[in-house]
Amino acid sequence: MLYNNIMEYKSNNNVVYSCKYHVVWCPKYRRKVLTQGVDVRLKELIHQICSEHQSEILELEIMPDHVHLLVEVDPQYGIHRLIKQVKGATSRILRQEFPRLKQRLPTLWTNSYFVATVGGAPLEIIKQYIENQKKV
């Protein structure tokens, strides 16, 4: 989120931040069950949960066998807590609303997920900035 080459930051009462994450997770056994309305409802639920936890969805894509989420999260809340909330709530609600998911899977999601930080300046620029602070 660059505006005139300046990073756009968010803040809460005591932290100014820009923490963006790319997160990917899959249904148990990588089954292709995120179809036939499950995908639409899952998107709605993820949007709802993220807004409840002051997290901004930058991009969200539901594939039949995995989910891609690009999200900005308050570092005091944390990405792990957000993903735990999203996976827990969506599993419970989707399995209630779509009983066929209970027949095919013991749980909806695998325990694991992929997460990577994105955005900001390259590591070398940040290192150089920190080193140059001594000279200011």
Please name the residues in contact with 23: beta carbons below 8 A apart, sequence gap of 6 or more: 67, 68, 69, 70, 71, 79, 83, 113, 114, 115
The Cα 15–Cα 42 span in angstroms is 31
- The residue-averaged pLDDT of 43-48 equals 98
Structure confidence at residue 129 as a pLDDT band (50, 70, 90): confident
Structure confidence at residue 26 as a pLDDT band (50, 70, 90): very high
Percent share of the chain, pLDDT over 70: 90
Structure confidence at residue 6 as a pLDDT band (50, 70, 90): very low
Which residues partner with 27 through β-bridges?
109
Residues carrying an active site annotation: 129
CB burial of 16-55 (b: ≥16 within 10 Å; e: otherwise) equals: eeebbbbbebbbbeeeebbeeebbebbbebbeebbeebeb
pLDDT at 1: 37
Taking only Cα atoms into account, the Rg of the chain, rounded to an integer number of angstroms, comes to 18
pLDDT at 113: 97
Fold of 16-135: Alpha-Beta Plaits (3.30.70)
Residue 78 has pLDDT above 70, yes or no: yes
